[in-house]
A and B are shown apart, each in its own frame.
Chain A
Amino acid sequence: MSIDVIIPDDLWEEDNEGVITSWLVSDGATVEVGTLVAEVMVEKIQCEVESPAAGTIKITKEEDDVVNKGDVIAHIEA
């Protein structure tokens, strides 16, 4: 089963776009529910993206990629 890692709608206040500044796990790493996986910067403020599920992460958006709320940035293979 594959679960998407999505930029949550409430991660920041406005509807500005953000940029992935760091992946804190490698592609293919094992993650738990709530593992901090990435940092997204919006207007010089950093927001934290956590894993919604346990499993193996497949990263689909890279550092420096522009992202919006609702975007899928990775999948978790349970």
Chain B
Amino acid sequence: MSDTKERKLTIARAMAESVAQYMRKDEKVFVMGEDIGVLGGVYGNTRGLIEEFGEERIRDTPISETAFMGAAVGAAQNGMRPIVELMFVDFFGVCFDQIYNNMAKNIYFSGGNVKVPMVLMTSTGGGYSDGGQHSQCVYGTFAHLPGMKVVAPSNAYDAKGLMNAAIREDSPVVYMYHKGLQGMGWLGTERGATVNTPEEYYEVEIGKASVVREGTDVSIVSLGMGVHHALKAAAELEESGVSAEVVDLRSLVPLDRDTIRASVAKTGRLIVVDEDYHSFGVSGEVIASVVEHDISVLKAAPQRVAFPDVPIPYAKIMEQFCLPNADKIVATYKKMAA
């Protein structure tokens, strides 16, 4: 009767459940952002919160990211635990001074006398023709700058556990969720993201990757939507007798370099899948983690399947041409192994 315990949630529901449960036990936690109140969030991740907690703790803001991001930093430094939503990560441009000069650095600037316990949750990714200023991931941009922890869940279980860990964390955490994994239909459908999720409190440790599929011939390392591409590629490779391991990074900062290195030490081959731009990003950092450590484990030069260094096209056929997918991963492996 194990199926009676089944409790599948979409990532959107898992995020909302984590926030609601935390808010019930800690009155310092509140949520701020655009359309996170009555609408329940464009991506469904704050549904039901305003009905339970009211407008004082679930605060719809004007379209002024600098103002509410700065307000969140100030509230955090004064004892609150704000969760603030940047609706599309692409909008970071208008509020980046508050994010990386204040949120990220004030603990350091104050010599540790000030804490900044806030969660900046923000949507990433494309695939549904929303154009080049609503479809980016920019994981590398946030992970590059010191002072912020960065997480990116690929399924509902991790989404809830990472959100709990992020709210409890005394330093700022950037929580980057992929729109196509939210279970929102018009943004894409990915069944693999809707998984069993316990109702009780638990945390997924920030900074720990997860080996979501074990294998011996190649390590496919990814995050967010890329994990699902990787799993589909691994299933396809298995049909031709290739055993692929899939590593879900889950956190970018801190990066779990040990798990990446252990996987590649076992398989000898590394493919990094990243929906962020190809150059100067997460994919390069993952590869560097391995080659700086020990190149003797490698049987082939590491490869990346990432978004080309171009603005994201609006036209569906052109966007899909650019995005990582399972076929590209399989083709990359075949070239490596040739």
* Cβ–Cβ contact A26 & B3, under 8 A: yes
* Cβ–Cβ contact A30 & B4, under 8 A: yes
Min C-beta distance of B74 to chain A, whole Å = 34
* Cβ–Cβ contact B8 & A41, under 8 A: no
Give the distance in Å from the alpha carbon of A19 to the alpha carbon of B188 in the complex.
12
Query: What 1/0 flags go to B180-191 for Cβ under 8 Å of A?
Result: 000111100101
Q: Point out the residue from A22, A25, A26, A30 that lies within 8 Å of B183, measured CB to CB.
A: A22
Give the distance in Å from the alpha carbon of A46 to the alpha carbon of B185 in the complex.
9
Of B1, B183, B184, B185, most buried by chain A (CB within 10 Å of CB) is: B185
Give the distance in Å from the alpha carbon of A15 to the alpha carbon of B155 in the complex.
33
Give the distance in Å from the alpha carbon of A28 to the alpha carbon of B4 in the complex.
10
* Cβ–Cβ contact B184 & A46, under 8 A: yes
Give the distance in Å from the alpha carbon of A22 to the alpha carbon of B3 in the complex.
18
Min C-beta distance of A78 to chain B, whole Å = 15
Give the distance in Å from the alpha carbon of A30 to the alpha carbon of B1 in the complex.
8
* Cβ–Cβ contact A46 & B44, under 8 A: yes
* Cβ–Cβ contact B8 & A24, under 8 A: yes
Q: Point out the residue from B6, B10, B184, B186 that lies within 8 Å of A29, measured CB to CB.
A: B6
Do A63 and B189 form a contact, CB below 8 Å, given A21-B183, A26-B3, A29-B3?
A: yes
Judged by a CB distance under 8 angstroms, whether B9 is at the interface is yes
Query: What 1/0 flags go to B1-41 for Cβ under 8 Å of A?
Result: 10110101110000000000000000000000000000000
* Cβ–Cβ contact B9 & A24, under 8 A: yes
Residue of B nearest to A36 (CB): B13
* Cβ–Cβ contact A28 & B184, under 8 A: no
Judged by a CB distance under 8 angstroms, whether B222 is at the interface is no
Query: What 1/0 flags go to A43-70 for Cβ under 8 Å of B?
Result: 0101000000000000000011000000
Q: Point out the residue from A19, A26, A44, A64 that lies within 8 Å of B6, measured CB to CB.
A: A26
* Cβ–Cβ contact B185 & A19, under 8 A: yes
Judged by a CB distance under 8 angstroms, whether B194 is at the interface is yes
Give the distance in Å from the alpha carbon of A44 to the alpha carbon of B179 in the complex.
13
Do A41 and B185 form a contact, CB below 8 Å, given A22-B10, A24-B8, A26-B8?
A: yes
Min C-beta distance of A34 to chain B, whole Å = 14
Min C-beta distance of B66 to chain A, whole Å = 28
Q: Which residues of A contact B186 (CB under 8 A)?
A: 41, 44
Q: Which residues of A contact B44 (CB under 8 A)?
A: 46
* Cβ–Cβ contact A21 & B185, under 8 A: yes
* Cβ–Cβ contact A25 & B8, under 8 A: yes
Q: Which residues of A contact B191 (CB under 8 A)?
A: 22, 63
* Cβ–Cβ contact B194 & A22, under 8 A: yes
Give the distance in Å from the alpha carbon of A69 to the alpha carbon of B270 in the complex.
49
Give the distance in Å from the alpha carbon of A28 to the alpha carbon of B194 in the complex.
17
* Cβ–Cβ contact B189 & A30, under 8 A: no
Binding site for A on B (CB under 8 A): 1, 3-4, 6, 8-10, 44, 47, 183-186, 189, 191, 194
Beyond A19-B185, A26-B8, A63-B191, 6 extra complex contacts between A and B, CB < 8 Å:
A21-B189, A30-B4, A30-B6, A41-B186, A44-B184, A46-B184
Q: Give the 5 A-B residue pairs with the shortest CB-CB distance, closest first.
A: A21-B185, A41-B185, A22-B183, A29-B3, A24-B8
